[in-house]
Chains A and B, each alone.
Chain A
Amino acid sequence: MIASDTTIELRHLHRYFGETRAVHDVSFSVRRGQVFGFIGPNGAGKTTSMRILATLDLPTAGEALVDGFSVLEDPDHVRRRLGFMPDYFRTYANVDVREYLDFFARAYGLMGAERQRALRRVMSFTKLDELASKPIDGLSKGMKQRLCLGRSMIHDPTVLILDEPAAGLDPRARIQLREMIRALADDGKTVLVSSHILTELAEMCDTVGIIEQGQLLAVGSVSDIQARSQLRAEVHVEVLEGADGLANWLAQRNDVDKVRLNGARVVFEHDGDRDSEARLLQEMVTAGFRVVAFGSRALSLEDVFLHVTQGRIQ
């Protein structure tokens, strides 16, 4: 019937705002207890997809399921098990931290001792204890982020959607956040977290999806993507003369990409392992190029990200 292990599923999700294709044919799924990283530059469609999952927006076409419930048809069932942390924090006047959390606990139908337990659990998890009676409009950015995270998990949801939770946090808070998210996943929660920065997610995500201009460009485990980055290297070659010729010679090969000429130096990206790199050098020399320097550098996650996004868009 339903693959009970899949807690988040997007099926050919589309969301257009007039001419803008904010989300265009995005499909992926996330299994229980996994952290899925959603990465893309500004305006890629991360927030739009997450808002649809959080039942705040409706898709133009396609379907999104949370724990087997359709966000379109059964948003009430989805809401019961979903915590959403938006990329903004809007305050109420004259409400303190404890009252704010208490309000949402009540709004999720928690009563009496159960509500007190939920408040205690969340406040200690997000280290908000000492801020309990601070008015929320006087909180710093980082405190607000923590409160926002706390609010999203007050009803102990099985699925958490966190839109750029790390934005505006100091390095220590980022590390704490990462630990919190890992702890949530270890607790069996499914987490969808977005960011602009791949490295930020690399350590806590089991799977990442790269999105750009509304389209999902790559999905895979972090190790997949890292493997890809090891298979791809930026190579610098310096020759005594005939750099143009070398550039032309390289451009014909299909394991070589993005050839640039930089004086006597040729820079390009090469697909393949170290072995094939050595073979490339050999062929270069055989072809008569007088190589004086040959160096290569594995691409960082950031480079992979840039590569994946640009390769598709231009």
Chain B
Amino acid sequence: MTTADGTSLDKAAGVDVAQTTSRRSRLDDLERWLERVGDRLNPILVKETRQALKSKQFTLTFLLLLLCGWGWTFVGASMVGPGIFYGAHGRELFFGYFVVLAFPLCVVVPYGAYRSLAAEREDGTYELLSITTLSPWQIVSGKLGSAVVQMIIYFSAISPCLAFTYMLRGIDVPTIFFALVYAFLTSAGLSALALLLATFTQEKVWQVLLTVFVILGTLLVFWILIIVMLNFVNSTIDFRRWFWLGNAMGLTAYASYFVLVFLAAASQLTFSSGNRSTALRIAMSVQFLLFTAWMAWFWFYEEPGQWPLIFVYLFIGGVNWYVMGAFLTGESSQLSPRVRRRLPQSTLGRILLSWFAPGSGTGYMFVIGNYLTMLLLALFAVVAARLLQIEQPTGPGVPRRLITALPLFAILSASYAIIYLGLERVIVAWLRRRFQVSPLAPLLIQTLILAAACGIPYTIYGLSPANYGNGYSMLQATNAVWTLVDAVDGRSGPEVQFLAVVLPLVALLTVVLNLPSIAREVRLGRLLAPPRVRQEEEDLAGKPLAPLAPVPTNPWGDVPAEPPFDES
């Protein structure tokens, strides 16, 4: 606004430039600095903040929040009565304010985030946004950023009340601090999830269903948070080791899932020929690594050699990879030329990194690899504990049966997952040849597979009264739930032990049957980027990129390198 015009005006008016220079230049500096900061800010954040400041809805919510805060001050104070001057009633009042604050944080903000993306997609404004040079990352973080700005404003609206409760005594600063941090994290996490949900569908029917789901879900979380916090506020924080350990573990899980949700939302918004999977797979691996590190910490230091830890590791890890696998094996196996430009090229790279490239086959192998890694790590843990003589397979509170139950559980759970996922892969591939498959469809199909494999034999069992009391039979071979429960219970009869031999073979067979199509994916060679693209990428990078080796035939030598681009 100032710059050229400003200076010329000064000259025209004959202002004594020398005298004012230093003050002016400092102001100018500040202004320039603000502008630079504004430039760096996410465009969506800037726009939505501007919009919010002008919108009636925002003003209304804000005023309502203030009103509720004040309302509670009067109601709460009058309920306490004159005792407010003598007793320590900070807790009661704080909890009231917390409820007043938690509602907008848990319900209004995430729902707002969901609507702000869903509405753009419904109204068609998203189209124009999507063809700008904004990256999917910027779009998601912009939306998330405006949710955070709203949160901060709500926090600041209620902060005088919180200060007031502290002065009333009866509540300490750490309790207030941690309660607020938990509320903030809940709100941010829900907003990220809501954004992810908003990316899944553009169809009206699904949008309506999802909207209902988001509202009910956020209300539920609000309710849970209130209950949990009621306990938290009414007890004194025990700042011993476990408090910090619990928080650190919780934060690790929260952060890693947050990143995963964020990346999933961004990949949903990535154009269809782009790579929508590699970043997610890396995030999954890092998350698994962190989880493993925590479990190792517990196994070697915190609760050395307690066998139930292995069970926790295999159970949580197994469920996690099963759900992730449901998404990954449902990916399309058609790789766009765009994706193929960045496929690993060296032999070592191909062996290690192919599984991070998009595709259902690589996804399936990626998950199997992680299952096997998990089993090996568990085995390693047991062996290491035995060598270090910290193992306590039969300590107090450790049921003896785990010694046989754990290996059974490990083998059976991994086999079931590999079989179910392999089945899903075949079904989804078949569907993809005929229909447009939505990103949530693989999860649905995996759910159906699980329901059928467990539900059908169980129904047959339930339908014939002759079976009552007989318990487990080979009929339940496909029923992962019952089989695994029996395995862990240590009540496993010869059937389960038989399955522990047969199912790994079936799993192997499933992999072998999937192998030809997996190989087709893995054997795809790298394509050279068209010269036009390379040239522009170099221009943008401002430096020449490393020269690319010519497209090689792959290590198997059986697929001729395809023509990298159309020369015409």
Q: Which residues of A contact B (CB under 8 A)?
A: 1-2, 54-56, 58, 68-70, 72-77, 79-80, 82, 84, 86, 88, 90-95, 99, 103-104, 106-109, 111-113, 115, 151, 155
Q: Are A99 and B130 in contact (CB under 8 A)?
A: no
For B114-145 the 0/1 string (1 means CB < 8 A from A) is 00000000011101111111100000000000
Which B324-353 residues have C-beta < 8 A from chain A?
336-338
Cross-chain contact of B43 among A1, A76, A103, A112 (Cβ < 8 A): A103
Q: Are A94 and B51 in contact (CB under 8 A)?
A: yes
Bound-state CA distance A80–B532 (Å) is 14
Given contacts A79-B132, A112-B35, contact A73 B273 (CB under 8 A): yes
Q: Are A90 and B124 in contact (CB under 8 A)?
A: yes
Can you give 12 contacting A-B residue pairs, CB < 8 Å?
A: A54-B131, A56-B127, A69-B532, A69-B536, A73-B273, A76-B271, A80-B133, A90-B123, A107-B129, A107-B132, A108-B132, A109-B133
Q: Are A106 and B43 in contact (CB under 8 A)?
A: yes
Q: Are B43 and A107 in contact (CB under 8 A)?
A: yes
* A54, closest chain B residue (CB): B131
- In the assembled complex, B55 has its CB within 8 A of some CB on chain A: yes
Q: Are A103 and B39 in contact (CB under 8 A)?
A: no
Q: Are A112 and B36 in contact (CB under 8 A)?
A: yes
Q: What is the CB-to-nearest-CB distance from B163 to chain A, in angstroms, rounded to a whole number?
A: 32
Bound-state CA distance A70–B337 (Å) is 11
Q: Are B533 and A86 in contact (CB under 8 A)?
A: no
- In the assembled complex, B47 has its CB within 8 A of some CB on chain A: yes
Given contacts A93-B55, A95-B50, A103-B47, contact A76 B127 (CB under 8 A): no
Bound-state CA distance A109–B54 (Å) is 25
Q: Are B536 and A107 in contact (CB under 8 A)?
A: no
How many residues of B are in contact with the other chain, CB < 8 A?
Answer: 36
Q: Which residues of B contact A (CB under 8 A)?
A: 3, 35-36, 39, 43-44, 46-47, 50-51, 54-55, 123-125, 127-134, 271-274, 336-338, 530-533, 536, 567
Q: Are B531 and A1 in contact (CB under 8 A)?
A: yes
* A65, closest chain B residue (CB): B532
Q: What is the CB-to-nearest-CB distance from A20 to chain B, in angstroms, rounded to a whole number?
A: 15
Cross-chain contact of A99 among B47, B124, B132, B272 (Cβ < 8 A): B47
Given contacts A55-B271, A112-B36, contact A77 B132 (CB under 8 A): no
Given contacts A80-B133, A90-B125, A106-B46, contact A74 B55 (CB under 8 A): no
Q: Are A92 and B51 in contact (CB under 8 A)?
A: yes
Bound-state CA distance A109–B134 (Å) is 8
* B138, closest chain A residue (CB): A107
Additional A-B contacts beyond A104-B132, A109-B133 (15; CB < 8 A): A2-B531, A73-B273, A73-B336, A75-B271, A75-B273, A77-B533, A79-B131, A90-B123, A90-B124, A91-B125, A92-B47, A95-B51, A106-B39, A111-B39, A155-B132
Q: In the complex, which residues of chain B have a beta carbon less than 8 angstroms from the beta carbon of A99? A: 47, 50
Q: Are B127 and A73 in contact (CB under 8 A)?
A: no
Bound-state CA distance A107–B42 (Å) is 8
* A105, closest chain B residue (CB): B43
Bound-state CA distance A212–B86 (Å) is 86
Q: What is the CB-to-nearest-CB distance from B268 to chain A, in angstroms, rounded to a whole number?
A: 16
Bound-state CA distance A54–B55 (Å) is 32
Q: In the complex, which residues of chain A have a beta carbon less than 8 angstroms from the beta carbon of B337? A: 73
Q: Are B133 and A58 in contact (CB under 8 A)?
A: no
Bound-state CA distance A95–B55 (Å) is 10
Bound-state CA distance A47–B124 (Å) is 15
Q: In the complex, which residues of chain A have a beta carbon less than 8 angstroms from the beta carbon of B338? A: 73-74
Cross-chain contact of B133 among A72, A84, A107 (Cβ < 8 A): A107
Bound-state CA distance A219–B133 (Å) is 33
Q: What is the CB-to-nearest-CB distance from A127 to chain B, in angstroms, rounded to a whole number?
A: 21
